[in-house]
Amino acid sequence: MTPSGVSGFDRARESRGRFTRGGGRYVADLALDGALSVGFVRSSVARGRITSLDLQQVRAQPGIIAAYCGQELAGLAGPIPVRYGPGQVYEWNLLATDWVSFVGEPVALVVGEDRAAVEEAAELAVVEYEALAAITDPKAAVDSSELVRPEIGSNLVFSATLGRGDASSILNGSFLVVEREFHLGRQSACPLENRAVLAYEEPLTREIVVSCSTQIPHILREAVALSLHRPASSVRVVLPDVGGGFGLKCQVAAEECLVAFVAQHLGRRAVWLEDRWENLVASNHAHDERLKLRVGFTNSGAITALEGEVTVDVGAQSCYPLSFALEPSSTGTHLFGCYKMQAARISARGVATNKCPTGAYRGVGASVASFATERILDLAAEELGLGRLEIRRRNLLSLADMPYEHPIGGVVDTGDPLAVFERLIATSGLREEANALELPDGVGQFGGIGLAVFTEHSGPGSAVYRRRGVTEVPGYDAARVLLRDDGTFAAYISSADAGQRHVEICQRQVAAVLGVDSRLVEVIEGDTASCPKGTGTFASRFAVAQVSAALRAARRVADRLVRAAGAYFGCPVEEVSQAEGGFAHSASGRAVSLDQLARWLYYPEGARSEEILELPFEELGYWDGGPALPCGAVLAAVEIDPETMFPRVRKVVAVEECGKVLDRDAVVGQVRGGLVMGVGDALLEEHLYSEAGEILTSSFMDYLLPSFDDSFEAEIELFEEERLFTGRSESGAKGVGEAGTIGAVAAIGSAAADALWRRGASLDELPATPFRIFSSLAAASSRSVQEVADGQLE
Ligand code: SMO
């Protein structure tokens, strides 16, 4: 426990319904009395130089303790080396020193006694800029000599070639080549709880304690230590409840390091609670991708090869730790993930612009990759006169193909996407007549159906990150399972719960291995002081990497316990049997309970020579075995209002094959939440910038999140068969955290495209907003958008 009462230990008492009963405890709920409030002055200019920055009036305000600009901060905090490709590094100044690169970039830091004082004082900062033309169009940016980051020397900040085989010549010899461009807009994760951090220095140990709403406690600890020029071991990150991360909180924020700096430098508790404006303009955006694909088919509809480019507008900064490599790499590797082909070659590129930096957002890269994949298949089906079901049946991987070395990269170890797809068709009662899918009952005339079969690279191991040049992500997760002297167990795990019910699930898994009631196992996570180092919670890592590590540690402890019982009885280990609450030795009729055994171990009657009896009685487990490759198939029906062109989801059926299901409710909950989240990506959410680089979507009035009204009751079926369990996790689980979102974007997006196709129009850009739908109809009928809007649909 710490003086603030901040502790990972509360989390072990998690009970179902705690969050919905108001029992959550977030950073803002911690004891903030006496904590200094930290606020930021942010750039109003997208690109340019700071010519002068005057904080005198700020400092003169009542209640203001200190203010710093980037120049003053130099030498005190930061910079942090930030990677952007293999072997490529630049120095990330936590506050801009002289160069600004997006609207919202922090240029000064204000510290005061309360939030209102800080916000008012920050308004009085006088910052003058020499504004330069903003770079907002990634196409133009590639060849421009005007730079977003002069220290990199090019706006093409990431570039990699993915895939195997001679795709070009196979395409040249193919019966049909479908060529198409796709776009998914700029979007952001918008967790219910914005970013939040409280930091203080422990008076006795001088340790900096950072209590933060993050998905990556151990990585954040490294970054804070780097920025404060102190060893990581002198920084402790502790998580209270995290009100959603969705990828946003697997980046380190400059603000998080700066609050730790204030705590260290001023010796006071300091807090920053991000507001929604800051979250929308200056946390991290995601997606904003353009795909240009060429896919070949034989005359019978078999895919031959894939070739193309993925270009991501990655914004102004490489995020720490995942870097500019994240979205371009991820998109490439997810293309046609469940489909067979001979060769693939994808050029994956990240282009910097003067926009908010991008980072992870649930379904990173995979959602747009799946949308593009399914659109290409629908287009090819039409060209070849095949049904949309048939073209998928002819190309989907099945168990007979496993292991399958996918030309796009990596080996699919197990799975049966074809069977998952057939189950979807059976469950949804989908009918196809003369190559046209029938709209479900109740879906009106301007409706469409979308289908998606996708995979997700969940729980990637260290090799995946090293290949991308990312050195700050360990890639493994870890667990330490301990028998305590009272006969109970503790499992310290490296991940970080953000609402997924890690504690309960891990508790049950560990207890089952130990053969004890799960109430005897306390699971502790989110505290770098006690939990072993690991990667954290993103890329659907928990079931794959974290549970595997915990199971390994638990098996080692279970094995050691039996041998310890043998030593206690003075008998060979073969004669020990598990008994209710402990162990028994049938030959002598003796029994020992766990707490008796623990007491015997922790209060020895003399030195012991047996290694297994050494204290503490604990074992470590690590797992670095992913990615696992779950598979999902989703059907969505969308109906467009013929007057407003507003699309609505009318039906969603999802079948998920995620290997062994560790907790049915948690898996269904992940899928359900992901599906609804995907509605935003497919139909509603898009960040827009003016040509001058001003963000136009800085509130929820302009950035449309799905609301209750856009929600729906999805039919969700889990496809769990032992023959499909993966060896890439200890339990056979494959991870499922992002599946719902990926499937929703692809299926709902394709459904909107199908509705337009039925009207002779096409749609390859998401989100499918009313404006895009009007535009698509206008293009198809050679009318202006206004004419279509005036006439609506006849
Ligand atoms: S976008 Mo997820 O937290 O990898």
SS3 label, residue 45: coil
In this prediction, residue 444 has a pLDDT band, given cuts at 50, 70 and 90, of confident
The tokens for 154 are 């090019």
Cβ pair 267, 34 in contact under 8 A: no
Ligand 1 binding pocket includes 457 (Cβ within 6 Å):
no
Contact 413, 407 (CB under 8 A): no
Ligand 1 atom with minimal separation from the 363 CA: 1
Query: Is residue 109 classed as helix, strand or coil in its secondary structure?
Result: strand
- CA of 246 relative to ligand 1 center, distance in Å: 6
Sheet-wide strand order for 489-493: 521-525, 489-493, 477-483, 618-623
pLDDT beyond 70 at 14? no
Banded model confidence at residue 16, pLDDT cuts 50, 70, 90: low
CA of 48 to the centre of ligand 1 (A): 32
Residue 10 has pLDDT above 80, yes or no: no
What is the DSSP secondary-structure string of 390-401?
A: HHHHHHB--GGG
Average pLDDT over residues 30-39: 94
- How confident is the model at residue 783, as a pLDDT? 87
What is the separation, in whole angstroms, between the first and last Cα of the chain? 68
For 783, phi then psi, to 5°, come to -115, 170
Concatenating the DSSP letter of every residue in 701-717 gives: TTS----GGG----EEE
Looking at residue 787, what is its pLDDT?
A: 85
Give the Cα separation of 770 and 70 in Å (integer): 43
Distance separating alpha carbons of residues 569 and 583, to the nearest angstrom: 10
Predicted model pTM: 0.96
pLDDT at 252: 98
CB 735, CB 459: distance < 8 Å: yes
pLDDT at 314: 98
> Which two structure tokens, joined as six digits, stand for 465?
């990150």
Residue pLDDT, tens place only, 594-614: 999 999 999 999 998 888 999
Q: Is the pLDDT of residue 12 over 50?
A: no
The mean pLDDT of 225-253, rounded to a whole number, is 97
| Closest residue by CA, ligand 1 atom 3 | 247
- CA–centroid distance for 708 within its chain: 23
Is the Cβ–Cβ distance between 8 and 529 less than 8 Å? no
| 750-786 pLDDT tens trace | 999 999 999 999 999 999 999 999 999 999 998 888 8
The answer to whether the CB of 541 is under 6 A from ligand 1 is: no
Binned at pLDDT 50, 70 and 90, residue 17 comes out as confident
Please tell me the distance between residue 251's alpha carbon and the centre of ligand 1 in angstroms: 10
Q: How sure is the predictor about 32, in pLDDT bands with cuts at 50, 70 and 90?
A: confident
Cα 496 to Cα 500, 501, 636, 668: the distances in Å are 9, 10, 32, 20
Residue 774 Cβ inside 6 Å of ligand 1? The answer reads no
Cα separation, 291 vs 773, in Å, equals 20
Average pLDDT, the chain: 95
* Residue 250 Cβ contacting ligand 1 at under 6 Å: yes
Determine the distance separating the centroid of ligand 1 and the alpha carbon of 250, expressed in angstroms: 7
Checking phi first, is residue 732 left (phi over 0); if not, alpha (psi -120 to 50) or beta? left
Residue 743's closest CA among 273, 222, 367? 367
Whole-angstrom Cα distance, residue 311 to residue 329? 10
Instruction: Tell me, using a 6 A CB cutoff, whether residue 542 lines ligand 1.
Output: no
pLDDT at position 256 over 70: yes
pLDDT at 528: 98
Residue 445: pLDDT band with limits 50, 70, 90: confident
Provide the pLDDT for residue 85.
83
**What is the per-residue pLDDT for 1?**
24
Nearest to 286 by CA among 403, 344, 201, 366: 366
> Which atom number of ligand 1 is nearest to the Cα of residue 537?
3
What's the pLDDT tens digit per position in 312-329? 999 999 999 999 999 999
3-class DSSP assignment, residue 32:
coil
pLDDT score for 786: 84
Query: What's CA 597's distance to the chain center, in Å?
Result: 43
190 CA to centre of own chain: 12
Ligand 1 pocket, 539 CB below 6 A? Answer: yes
Pairwise CA distance, residues 313 & 152, whole Å = 16
> Given strand 647-657, what is the order of strands in its sheet?
447-455, 631-640, 647-657, 715-718
> Ligand 1 centre and the CA of 507: distance in Å?
23
640-698 pLDDT tens trace: 999 999 999 999 999 999 999 999 999 999 999 999 999 999 999 999 999 999 999 99
- Spatial neighbors of 644 by CB under 8 A, at least 6 apart, are 770
pLDDT band, residue 26 (cuts 50/70/90): very high
pLDDT at 6 over 50: no
| Cα–Cα separations (whole angstroms), residue 88 to 347, 349, 468, 471, 700 | 19, 15, 11, 11, 37
pLDDT tier for residue 75 given thresholds of 50, 70 and 90: confident
**Mean pLDDT, to the nearest integer, of 549-569?**
97
Per the DSSP assignment, residues forming a β-bridge with 490 are 482, 522
> Residue 792: pLDDT above 80?
no
pLDDT for position 794:
54
φ, ψ of residue 453 to 5 degrees: the values are: -130, 120
Q: How many residues does the chain have?
A: 794
248 lines ligand 1 (CB under 6 A): no
366 lines ligand 1 (CB under 6 A): no
